[in-house]
């Protein structure tokens, strides 16, 4: 039902009239020093793709790449324990996995979930008039770069970890209640890259209100200190041509290109659905920020205002 055609977050394969499989895989390198926390982040990141499709994750398999000659095996045990702890929080069953000896430490999971065939939420079905909602602030890529350089304030690093280990399950449940029109999770291509996929897939333009896009505290100071990941600059170089009202050397826009790990959901909802989303999000203590709207296709796919 869903393949790679629109760069959606997961594949979907129907197995019955009322059930379809949601399948995804994601692998990352460490963003923090603590192995257990890294495992939790990697698991939350992999599960996010299923939530972005409106699905419920059921099973997962570990994928670990480990330099056994360089690192103590206890580090791998802690990483896997962190991943399993996050899966337990999500009600997901770990059913196996595979480990490869590699020069670089990497960890992720292959995740299988389920969704009703009529309730799949895709990244390519936004409509003009929809409002856009984000469910996590931006900036974890920049903060992770500062952590690696030992230049991240402790409170800033802790806040980034809190967001990266927050599951998107609650936001997924709310968007389903509100009949979301489209959704994607904001990960490696940054907000702009994933918004572009959403706009291109639906043949629309997305207008973003730059002053309302949430960014984590401390990120602006880290940018001024030059603590910006290379992926952020690559995203900016690649995606700027699809934007209007955007200067390629405007550092204030860098958080919008920042590659996220376990980022929030970017959701398109009807105005009525958005109003209900904000009410439910407040009642359920779920972060939500209105950041723009969907309009008819214009010269560029993304506009700032």
pLDDT at 169: 97
In this structure, what CATH number is given to the domain that contains residue 265? 3.90.650.10
Q: Are residues 69 and 111 in the same domain?
A: yes
pLDDT at 81: 98
The answer to whether residue 33 scores a pLDDT higher than 80 is: yes
Which spans in 67-136 are helix H? 73-90
Q: Look up the pTM and report it.
A: 0.94
Q: Are residues 20 and 107 in the same domain?
A: yes
- Residue 182, judged by CB atoms within 10 A of its CB (0-12, 13-18, 19+), counts as buried
In a domain, 2, yes or no: no
> How many structural domains does the chain have?
2
Q: Are residues 172 and 229 in the same domain?
A: yes
Domain boundary pick from 119, 144, 179: 119
pLDDT at 247: 65
Report the run of H or E that residue 56 belongs to, with start and end.
strand 56-66
Chain centre distance of CA 287: 14
3-state SS class at 47: helix
In this structure, what CATH number is given to the domain that contains residue 90? 3.30.1330.10
Average pLDDT (22-28) is 97
The answer to whether residue 245 scores a pLDDT higher than 90 is: no
pLDDT at 305: 85
In a domain, 5, yes or no: no
The answer to whether residue 152 scores a pLDDT higher than 70 is: yes
- Tell me the percentage of the chain whose pLDDT exceeds 90: 94
């Amino acid at each position: 039902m869903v393949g790679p055609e629109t760069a959606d977050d997961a594949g979907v394969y129907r197995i019955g009239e009322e059930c379809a499989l949601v399948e995804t895989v994601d692998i990352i390198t460490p963003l923090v020093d603590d192995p257990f926390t890294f495992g939790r982040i990697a698991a939350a990141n992999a599960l996010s793709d299923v939530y972005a499709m409106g699905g419920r994750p059921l099973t997962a398999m570990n994928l670990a790449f480990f330099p056994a000659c360089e690192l103590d095996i206890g580090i791998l045990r802690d990483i896997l324990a962190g991943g399993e702890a996050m899966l337990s929080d999500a009600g997901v069953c770990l059913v196996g996995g595979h480990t490869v000896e590699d020069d670089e430490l990497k960890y992720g999971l292959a995740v299988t979930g389920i969704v009703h065939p009529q309730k799949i939420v895709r990244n390519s079905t936004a409509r003009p008039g929809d409002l856009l909602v984000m469910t996590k602030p931006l900036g974890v890529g920049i903060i992770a770069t500062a952590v690696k350089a030992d230049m991240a304030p402790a409170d800033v690093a802790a806040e980034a970890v809190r967001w990266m280990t927050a599951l998107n399950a609650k936001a997924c449940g709310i968007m389903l209640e509100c009949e979301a029109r489209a959704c994607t999770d904001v990960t490696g291509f940054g907000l702009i890259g994933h918004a572009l996929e959403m706009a291109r897939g639906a043949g629309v333009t997305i207008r973003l209100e730059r002053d309302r896009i949430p960014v984590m505290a401390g990120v602006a100071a880290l940018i001024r200190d030059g603590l910006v990941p290379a992926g952020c600059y690559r995203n900016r170089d690649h995606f700027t041509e699809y934007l209007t009202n955007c200067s390629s050397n405007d550092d204030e826009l860098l958080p919008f290109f920042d590659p996220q790990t376990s980022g929030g959901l970017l959701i398109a909802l009807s105005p009525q659905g958005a109003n209900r989303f904000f009410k439910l999000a407040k009642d359920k203590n779920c972060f939500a920020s209105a950041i723009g709207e969907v309009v008819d296709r214009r010269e560029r796919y993304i506009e700032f205002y």
